[in-house]
Structure 1
Amino acid sequence: MQNKTVDVIIPTYKPDDKFEQLIDRLERQSFPVNHIYIMNTGESFFHSESIHKYSNISVEHINQEEFDHGETRDKAARKSHADRIVFMTQDAIPENEYLIEELMIGLELDGVGAAYARQLPEDNCNDIEKFTRTFNYPEQDSVKSLVDMERLGIKTFFCSNVCAAYNKELYESLGGFIRHTIFNEDMIFASKIIKSGKKIAYCANARVIHSHNYTNLQQLRRNFDLAVSQRDNPDVFEGIKSENEGIQLVLQTAKHCVKIKKPWLVFLLIIKSGFKYIGYKLGYQYYRLPFWMVKRLTMNKEYWK
């Protein structure tokens, strides 16, 4: 494993102190990072001068109209000559110095083509979001393959580019990320990995600190875009329902709220879940909506230009 090289790719937009913390921790990993490629949207917003003290970082600036969740990441991946590539977001902070090492261990498992990290909640994370992190990112490792489709459904394709590592040779052989997508490029590519007969590893010991306290409206917009990505990629998602997974999350979260003696959170959960559901339903039928409404509902306005 130590003979393998690894590059890290990070799209950025108005990076802040979290991003600088991310870079500093990446530079202190037990498994050394060969090169860090930063794809930054909006040069005037990039003020992270501290990264220049590192010699293994390159920054490419693009305009906001050029950014695409799939194509921008793929453009950076094509620059890399490493054996393994790790994609991260600018707000995902490695919990310790073993993040890259643990991901590389996951990629060494038999037949594994991608490995993704566990996401831990930040200190300011609300109780509902904390449980969501636990639900989606449990303490136990797992490996998913085509045989798990009937049991796991859409979760078979779950893989998050908040922090995920890929076998570079396999990535290129399968064509890389989709070039135009509203988001969800990670799950779309994960479906290619699974359908090719390879596997996806979840590495619970590879940990990043990453969470969001979305408002109800933000959650509606996120689920709108999620549904758009599913509607636009029927070859991946058609016939695989995602609502069942959402229902399980709501039920388990409600039980958790009662268990921690905060039953009033169930009311907030119901409201939040309603916004999620409405967003998803609207997104799945987006082509029936007037364009002005689509622009109001989406989180990713550049996608529609």
Structure 2
Amino acid sequence: MANNGRRSVKLKKGPTVGTGGHGRKALEGKGPTPKAEDRPYHKAFKNKQLSERSEAKRASGSRTTSAAARSGRSGPKGRATEEVVTGRNSVVEALRAGIPAKALHVAVRIEMDDRVKESLKLAAERGIPLMETGKPELDRMTDDAIHQGLVLQIPPYEYQDAYELAEETLEAWKKGHVANAPLFVALDGITDPRNLGAIIRSVSAFSGHGVVVPERRSVGVTASAWKTSAGAAARVPVARAANLNNTLKAFKNMGIYVLGLDGDGDVSLPELTLATEPVCIVVGSEGKGLSRLVRENCDQIVSIPIDSAMESLNASMAVGISLYEISRQRAAK
């Protein structure tokens, strides 16, 4: 057959472009077999993820609950945070102390002992609702804390407004409804609820009219504070201040003298001349003492004479000593 005059040409095969070792990894193998918990398709991997998620949730929830419980602060969107007391010993002690309770949750088919029996008896006598609750729900309520089948639900403390409390007390004193001049204690940086409870107890013992705590970075009225107060928390109002410095300024404008407690004071406690006037004592934490702004807003800084070998006093002890001296001077008037 004619090829129409065309001539076929054979091309000489030359060097070609290589793969560059693209298939080398396939020859190397995949290394050692990963552990079952590291294989995404394995059941052990899912169990590990669930365990880690549960642990993270428990730790986060525990921190949030314990912090709220210690400080008595509000929860999201300003809602008050409820507290729970867990464990047989803690629950029966809280009931003995008369701590306000919303409900006593008892595990289904709980193993009875003397503590459980006493808790049920005290709750019934005080009219506290008894709720039979399953273990999963108790675990959820307590963020998996050890509850031993008993959980006491504590309602949020109802704080008064600091300004309103001072105004009402002043008005009652001027009308003769209150025998002694208004006497308050304000806390600056106190975070231990036992300190708050002891201070409330001292305020009650020496005819004080209330305790003021800041809303932020401060202790609140918790079950621990109730217990330490030995029932005084039911008699002494605790007020909350949105801003402690502004509250102290308002107190001064109302005629209340603000006295700060500090080791380097302007006046020694026995030489205090304002004891018979309306007074608000401000106490700081044992370590940091009064903050700079609070110190500047005080009319006087009062020091308690102590042995030079002792650096400082516990906050509740310092308040108790100061309240005693003020009460002594008022009685001698």
TM-score by length of 2: 0.25
TM-score (normalised: structure 1):
0.27
Q: Which has the larger radius of gyration?
A: 2
**Per chain length, whose mean CA-contact separation is higher, i.e. which structure has more relative contact order (CA < 8 Å, sep 6+)?**
1
Higher helix fraction (1 or 2): 1
